[in-house]
Structure 1
Amino acid sequence: MARQRSIFSIILVLLATFLISCGGPGVAVAPPTYTADQIAQIQEYVPEIQTVRDRADELKSLIQRNEWIKVGNFIHGPMAEARLTMTYITPHLLPKDQTAARQITKDLLNHLVKIDQAAARGNSLVASSNYQAVFTDVDKFLQLLPEGSKQVES
């Protein structure tokens, strides 16, 4: 009788192990998506970034005319506000996009600093190359945003 109990116990252990290994979560986890609240938060800030993006030619012409004080004003005014707005948006993005958004914002700051330094030295070549990099960074950031948040009311 003792031998039958041990065989029965081994069979129960094997059956339980098999059932547990085949169990697991049967429901597939949906990929993360934006909630209506997240899109609303992002939509609140997008027009500020888009406005600065639309003023790209203004900065370009200031650099070409060597109006360094106005270049500095533009960088420390509207561009600084756009960068700050980008940092406000970043926590509302999907986790996979937050890392890229932080890096883009950091790159934007580095390019703005280089333009500011070039303006202080009167170096239009460095300012022009970093001007293009700044607006490339802004475009990259805007591409990270969900489609529903990019619709600007007219």
Structure 2
Amino acid sequence: MRVAVYPGSFDPITCGHMDIIRRSSKIFDKLVVAVLNNPSKNSMFDFAERKKMIEEAISDLDNVEVDAFNGLLIDYVSQKKYDVIVKGLRAISDFESELQMASMNRKLNSKIETLFMMTATEYSFLSSSLVKEVFGFGGNIESLVPKNVIGNMIEKFTEV
């Protein structure tokens, strides 16, 4: 069974993330969406909230699950005995930093492959940070995030 890991912060999950998840789930027997659980990072949503939003967004995908990791991604992937790391790329600027990380991961464990997947063109500009900024200024994010995320965004912004 070929298992791939799609890592990220997913704060919040976007339609660009979902594009990579849906396409990757067709290529691999199992896809693990691995949420970086970094307590020192100032995230809008805590790990439990991000995990729940992702689980709701992927509920129609039988071969996709959500997990968390701390520390080095390559250590997590090695420990779980997964085969591939999937990294989504939006633009050439993503490629440079992702290539460096993939090269380091390969140096640390040459058995783990990294697959780069270009996001769909309509999401090539999209990031979680941009979604939060647009939403914070009252912009419409309906076409940028899964439907279940919008309620969570409204709730989070009314708490502040």
Q: TM-score, normalised on structure 2?
A: 0.26
Greater share of strand residues, 1 or 2? 2
The structure whose residues are more often helix, as a share, is 1
Of the two, which has the highest radius of gyration? 1
* TM value normalised by structure 1: 0.27
